[in-house]
Structure 1
Amino acid sequence: MLTGRYLSNASAGVDNNNGEPIINVSFNNAGTRIFGDLTSKNVGKRMAILLDNKVVTAPVIREAITGGRAQITGFANLKAASNAAIELRAGALPAPVHISEERTVGPTLGQDSIHDGVMAVVFGMIFVVAFMTIYYRAFGLIADLAILVNILAILAVLSLMGGTLTLPGIAGIVLKIGLAVDANVLVFERIREELRHGMSVRAAIDAGFKKAFATIVDSNITVLIAALVLFQFGTGAIKGFALVLTIGVITSIFTATMMSRGIIERVLGKRRIQKLYI
């Protein structure tokens, strides 16, 4: 008898007389005439308001309403009145809507993504360990140990902060593995260069770590700046990636320099090494 296209507005409110939740509705010119005629002929009867063939509410017509404005009462609370007002304001659609297909995404999809992310970390670590071991021999194993400690340190810091390791966070770990290797490569190549210049083994190791340290810090600071910018201006997944990257930068500086050097010094001990295979 009267569709949503004749409704100009619907808003939830409270009755000033008794404090009950109500909806104030108003009609356009055509709707005012139809609604006035409808209420005049059906005083005392219920007028059902339907949405998608379901009754939203069915108030009683108490009197003829010819002014184009009306109040709907009978709601349990203001929230229910607000929801009904939203449905009324939606108006009439030009065509009916039918659900042709409905799907529910379960937790298994997320579990598959997490599994793939973890496998990416594992395979990335395997390839890095193999390359470093083949190319730098014993020093490569030391670098691999430093990278493993770096990953554990990232997870430990996240745990202390109460953070959650998301898929972007896993991506940050994979990226940090590469950056951590880069720091060790800088040190090892510097040691090789000093050995080629005729330095003793211990002097070459000492010079390699000292001279590469500034370069490692510079490269990691640029990554840290980018990560902080992403964390400040990013949202959601971007912040998760930036957080892991920030933690990884800080921990990798420690593992690639102090920790690696400490292990090397411990392995060499006080022995006199004439030749170093690196």
Structure 2
Amino acid sequence: MLRAGALPAPVKVIQNITIGPTLGQDSIRKGVQAALLGAILVIIFMIYYYRFSGVIADIALFLNLLYLLGAFTALKATMTLPGIAGIILTMGMGVDSNVLIFERIREELRLGKTVRAAVDAGYSKAWVTIFDSHITTLITTFILFTFGTGPIKGFAVTLSIGVIINLFTAVFGSKAIFDWIIMKFKPRSLSI
């Protein structure tokens, strides 16, 4: 049986500090700077590793961020540190989705498929994994929102909106770009 109640140790105040609102602003500013630095590094990595396909992934990530910020503006949301963390995690999920898709496309190209067939098969075969990861994340955000308080709820809302938008941009947004390029230029090979 567990016992609840006061701790047997006395509480002694060692230090009491009053902070102003600028500390919160400074934390937000540093969080935004960290997010921008992370985004720049991700953009460079995706272009370096996936070449032209990395550019398509970066466009999809930019659209993801644009739609996410648009949703926050429409909801008149205030940017907080948990919100920034949710945005960063959303961007990470977007990168993960694109990596899954591109690796599937690479496998299909190695099997000798045409660019059109490889892209279609890559997206089709990666879809189930991407959908599963997004649904499990949404379930987690629902639990966090239900049982969490204040900042945890804000993180859950930010992440859930981001996951829904990411599912759209990573799968359908980048696929639309690939489809347009294939239709317009009919490439025989793909830089991936």
Distance 2:16 2:147 in 1: 36
> Which letter maps to 1:132?
M
Q: Which residue of 2 aligns with 1:122?
A: 36
Shift of 1:238: 0.4
TM-score, normalised to structure 2, is 0.88
Contact map agreement 2:86 2:158 (CA 8 A) in 1: yes
Aligned CA distance change for structure 1 residues 101 and 206 (closer, same or farther; 3 Å): closer
- Per-residue deviation, 1:234: 0.3
Measured in 1, the distance between the counterparts of 2:15 and 2:110 equals 70
**2:96 — aligned with what?**
182
Q: Aligned-pair RMSD on alpha carbons?
A: 1.6
Per the normalisation by structure 1, the TM-score is 0.62
Deviation at 1:266, TM superposition (A): 1.8
Bigger RCO (CA 8 Å, 6+ sep): 2
Distance 2:60 2:191 in 1: 19
Q: Which residue of 2 aligns with 1:237?
A: 151
Q: Which has the higher strand share?
A: 1
Could you list the per-position Cα deviations for residues 35-78 of structure 1 after superposition, in whole angstroms to 9, with x for gaps in the alignment?
A: xxxxxxxxxxxxxxxxxxxxxxxxxxxxxxxxxxxxxxxxxxxx
Q: How far 1:269 moved relative to its partner?
A: 2.7
Return the alpha-carbon distance in structure 1 between the equivalents of residues 28 and 172 of structure 2: 33
**Larger-Rg structure:** 1
Unpaired runs of 5+ in structure 2?
1-13
Which structure carries more helix by proportion? 2
Question: What residue in structure 2 maps to residue 158 of structure 1?
Answer: 72
Q: Which runs of 5+ in 1 are unaligned?
A: 1-99
Q: Percent identity?
A: 54
Query: Does the aligned pair in 2 maintain the 1:120–1:174 contact within 8 Å?
Result: no
CA offset digits 1:97-122 (Å, max 9, x no partner) = xxx98754212111110111101110
Deviations 1:211-231 (A, max 9, x none): 111111011101110011101
Give the number of equivalent residue pairs: 179
Deviation at 1:268, TM superposition (A): 2.8
Distance 1:230 1:263 in 2: 35
Aligned to 1:216: 130
> Is 1:250 aligned to residue 164 of structure 2?
yes
